[in-house]
Amino acid sequence: MTARQWVWKAAGLAVIAGATAWLASGPSRAATPWGADYFPNAVLTTQDGKTVRFYDDLIKGKSVAINLFYTSCQDICPLETAKLVQLQKLFGARMGKDIFFYSIAIDPWDTPKENKAYAQKFGVGPGWLFLSGKEADIQLISRKLGLSRASDAVSKDGHSASLMVGNVGSGLWMRNSAMDNPQFLATTIGNFLGWRDPKADRSYAEARPLDLDKGQFLFQSRCAACHTIGAGDRLGPDLMGVTSRRQRGWLARYLAQPEQMLAEGDPVATSLFKKYRQVRMPNLELGTDDVASLLSYLEARSHANGEPPAGKEAGKEAAAVR
Ligand code: HEC
């Protein structure tokens, strides 16, 4: 069964408790309706093969951020994980102390071994567990967390990129998108959990005006978790000068349909894939305008850094992948 069918089945079982309903409870109540009686205490296994109980070991008395994933996902969710890695970096020493991240594998084929390799590829640090378990238990946990919905079955990834953040003691929960800007998420979650971080107390008067062009905005929100322009490889190649080393037509198609070019055996896509074996360039469902804005932005950035303008060196597609 694919992960998508799985969610469909999960969603069919019951009407899901939405996050909004949960928010009705306030922190002042001593007992919340979402305690030990509500959450399953199912046995799950971490990426290191350790057995844990969902309620007792993972969430009781803790602040947590939980999302669903599966290791073979090739659409939007690699970006979801890459963004959470950035969020984890922003949280720094709070990870595993003030907040715990849990990514729950919804594909029954994902074993601790696969989850561990996946976590390592993305450079996941302490305080973040990748969990697998019995299919029925995971369905129940996802449902109880409000993380699986009927509409997810028709989405490309089979689940929504939601991140449920909660403090189990107070019964306060909120739903975020794991795709949001990590800086924004860090601030939102910090505020929600009542953290006092003096460094974050900057006045709005100091804020720089938001002056992003569309290409820059797209790059920062969709690409920067995996790519830099001139600061070296991350999960994907450094994109400095990419508009000179590849033809525009190739780039435009690659940004729109990387998986298809790989499937067709395009030589450059194939050698890039072999070189950056850890993660695949995802299809981010960019429109023609998005692709054009991104390419102009990449070109302007490369040019500003002394790369020759596009066109001069184009046509070297057959050359070995740098
Ligand atoms: C989840 C990580 C990830 C995200 C997000 C991502 N990429 Fe990639 N990208 C890769 C990987 C990995 C490769 C190398 C090819 C492969 O392994 O599939 C790649 C390859 C590329 C290449 C080819 C580079 C070359 O040397 O020819 C370009 C261009 C590119 N990405 C642009 C983008 C742009 C623009 C965005 C944002 C809209 C983006 N990528 C988002 C991971 C990512």
pLDDT of residue 5: 44
Structure tokens at 242: 């990419």
Between these two residues, 131 and 23, which has the higher pLDDT value?
A: 131
With CA atoms as reference, report the closest residue to 94 among 203, 207, 225, 200: 200
pLDDT of residue 310: 52
**In angstroms, rounded to a whole number, what is the distance separating the alpha carbons of residues 19 and 162?**
11
C-alpha of residue 24 to centroid of ligand 1, in Å: 42
Side-chain-side CA neighbours of 248 within 13 Å: the count stands at 14
Tell which atom from ligand 1 comes closest to the C-alpha of 272: 15
Mean pLDDT of 233-246: 94
Average pLDDT score, the chain: 81
Asked whether the predicted pLDDT for residue 88 surpasses 80, the reply is: yes
Asked whether the predicted pLDDT for residue 151 surpasses 90, the reply is: no
Give CA 239 to chain center in angstroms.
21
With CA atoms as reference, report the closest residue to 115 among 202, 174, 49: 49
Residues 67/84, Cβ–Cβ less than 8 Å? yes
Asked whether the predicted pLDDT for residue 269 surpasses 90, the reply is: yes
**In angstroms, rounded to a whole number, what is the distance separating the alpha carbons of residues 239 and 294?**
11
- Give the best-scoring range by mean pLDDT among 3-17, 70-84, 112-126: 112-126
User: Which amino acid belongs to residue 198?
Assistant: P
CB-based contacts of 29: which residues, under 8 Å, 6+ apart? 171
Tell me which residue has tokens 């006045």: 203
C-alpha of residue 321 to centroid of ligand 1, in Å: 13
Asked whether the predicted pLDDT for residue 202 surpasses 50, the reply is: no
**In angstroms, rounded to a whole number, what is the distance separating the alpha carbons of residues 130 and 103?**
5
Structure tokens at 106: 């919804």
Side-chain-side CA neighbours of 202 within 13 Å: the count stands at 8
Mean pLDDT of 186-190: 92
pLDDT of residue 158: 58
**In angstroms, rounded to a whole number, what is the distance separating the alpha carbons of residues 115 and 106?**
11
Structure tokens at 291: 């692709």
Q: Ligand 1 within 6 A of 227 CB?
A: yes
pLDDT of residue 78: 86
Mean pLDDT of 281-298: 91
Q: Is the dihedral of CA 283, 287, 293, 299 positive or negative?
A: positive
pLDDT of residue 264: 96
Question: What are the Cα distances from residue 120, in Å, to 47, 73, 115, 215?
Answer: 10, 16, 9, 30
Q: Which domains, from first to last, does the chain contain? A: 3-196 (3.40.30.10), 214-304 (1.10.760.10)
Tell me which residue has tokens 């599966």: 70
Q: Ligand 1 within 6 A of 77 CB?
A: no
Stated pTM of the model: 0.66
C-alpha of residue 5 to centroid of ligand 1, in Å: 28
Tell which atom from ligand 1 comes closest to the C-alpha of 219: 37
Ligand 1, residues 71, 179, 216, 226: which to mutate, most atoms within 8 A of Cβ? 226
C-alpha of residue 19 to centroid of ligand 1, in Å: 33
Between these two residues, 274 and 108, which has the higher pLDDT value?
A: 274
